[in-house]
Amino acid sequence: MEKLLIKNGNVVFYDRVEKNDLLIENGIIKKIAKNITENCKTINAEGLHVFPGLIDMHVHLREPGYEYKEDLLSGSKAAVKGGFSQICPMPNTKPICDTAAAVSYIKAREKEINLVKINPIGAITVGEEGNQLAEIGKMKKAGAVAISDDGKPVINTKMMRLAMEYAKDFNLICLSHSEDKSLSEDGVVNEGLNSTLTGLKGIPRAAEEIMVSREILLSDMLKVPVHICHISTEGSVNLIKQAKERGVKVTAESCPHYFSLTDNAITDFNPNTKVNPPLREERDKQAIIEGYRKGIIDVIATDHAPHHKDEKNIEYNVAAFGISGLETSFSLTITNLYQTGVLTLCEIAQVMSYNPAKILNLDGGEIKEGKIADIMLADIDKSYIIDTNKFLSKGKNSPFDNMKVSGEVQATIINGIIKYTGEKFNDRQTD
Residue 369 parent element (H or E): none
Whether 401 is catalytic: no
Of 98, 149, 303, 379, catalytic = 303
Residue 166 CA to its chain's centroid (Å)? 24
* E strand residue ranges, 2-145: 3-12, 17-25, 28-33, 41-44, 49-52, 54-59, 84-89, 117-118, 121-122
> 278 and 189 in contact (C-beta within 8 Å)?
yes
ω into 64 cis (within 30 of 0): yes
* E strand residue ranges, 322-385: 375-385
Residue type, 324: S
3-state secondary structure of 403: coil
Buried b / exposed e along 35-71 (16+ C-beta atoms within 10 A): ebebeeebbebeebbbbbbbbbbbbbbbbbebbebbb
Could you list the active site residues?
Answer: 303
